[in-house]
């Protein structure tokens, strides 16, 4: 029914935002970690939406990118995860870090997500491994590289508990060692993760 809502960001709350458009103000449930990705109050924003309709009401969920909405949809395919729990998962871990945890069979990282215990972590791993693989850098409109680090990689490493500055240095140092290609980002992350985990 709704693909997205475009308008002025009028309010930011703990787990929702309000977007004013065409004389209406929409209240949208969003992942807590993604609130700042929508910009500042007064900014023109586009929120990718999903409508949850049940017997007693309706609720609009929103995400700053189509990728994050896609991950939300995939999470709801896991037994025991509904819309609220899927949103809670994305409030506890960014899609990039979630993908990395799944692809590396990191049950410990999954269990750090609020509301995810050992059984649910195992279900997530079985249902989602290989399904959240992202396109190569630059294809989804969000990939960007600074002079010192790959922004998403550093963010994902920080979400996994590593010091952000150490992560930036590790990624920057390894960048020149990894050959260019569609798998460069994944290989760069793998090497940075090994280096940071070893404490070097």
141 found inside a domain:
no
173 found inside a domain:
yes
Query: What is the pLDDT at residue 166?
Result: 85
H helix or E strand, kind and range, residue 18: strand 16-21
- Distance from the Cα of residue 178 to its chain's centroid: 25
Last residue of a domain, one of 18, 41, 63: 63
134 found inside a domain:
no
Residues of the chain with pLDDT > 90, as a percent, come to: 50
User: Would you place residue 198 in the very low, low, confident or very high pLDDT band (cuts 50, 70, 90)?
Assistant: confident
* Residue 78 predicted with pLDDT over 70: yes
Which domain, by its residues, includes 13? 4-63
Task: Dump strand ranges (E) for 30-121.
Answer: 44-54, 57-63
**Which pair of structure tokens corresponds to residue 95?**
């899609």
The model carries a pTM of 0.69
Last residue of a domain, one of 24, 48, 63: 63
- Distance from the Cα of residue 59 to its chain's centroid: 21
The residue among 180, 177, 182, 181 whose CA lies nearest residue 194 is 177
Q: Per-residue pLDDT tens for 28-63?
A: 999 999 999 999 999 999 999 999 998 888 999 999
Of 5-14, 127-136, 170-179, the range with the highest mean pLDDT is 5-14
CATH code for position 14? 2.40.50.140
User: Would you place residue 119 in the very low, low, confident or very high pLDDT band (cuts 50, 70, 90)?
Assistant: very high
**Which pair of structure tokens corresponds to residue 110?**
């999954």
User: Would you place residue 1 in the very low, low, confident or very high pLDDT band (cuts 50, 70, 90)?
Assistant: low
């Amino acid at each position: 029914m709704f693909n997205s809502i475009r308008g002025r960001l009028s309010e930011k709350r703990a787990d929702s935002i309000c977007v004013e458009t065409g004389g209406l103000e929409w209240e949208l449930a969003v992942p807590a970690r993604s609130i700042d990705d929508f910009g500042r109050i007064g900014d023109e924003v586009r929120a990718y939406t999903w409508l949850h309709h049940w017997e007693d009401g309706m609720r609009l969920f929103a995400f700053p990118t189509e990728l994050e909405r896609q991950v939300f949809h995939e999470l709801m395919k896991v037994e025991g995860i509904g819309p609220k729990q899927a949103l809670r998962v994305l409030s506890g871990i960014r899609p990039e870090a979630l993908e990395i945890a799944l692809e590396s069979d990191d049950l410990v990282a999954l269990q750090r997500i609020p509301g995810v215990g050992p059984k649910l972590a195992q279900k997530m791993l079985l249902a989602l491994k290989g399904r959240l693989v992202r396109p190569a850098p630059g294809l989804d409109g969000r990939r960007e590289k600074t002079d010192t680090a790959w922004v998403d990689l550093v963010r994902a490493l920080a979400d996994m508990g590593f010091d952000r500055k150490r992560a930036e240095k590790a990624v920057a140092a390894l960048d020149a060692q990894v050959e260019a290609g569609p798998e460069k980002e994944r290989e760069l992350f793998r090497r940075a993760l090994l280096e940071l985990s070893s404490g070097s």
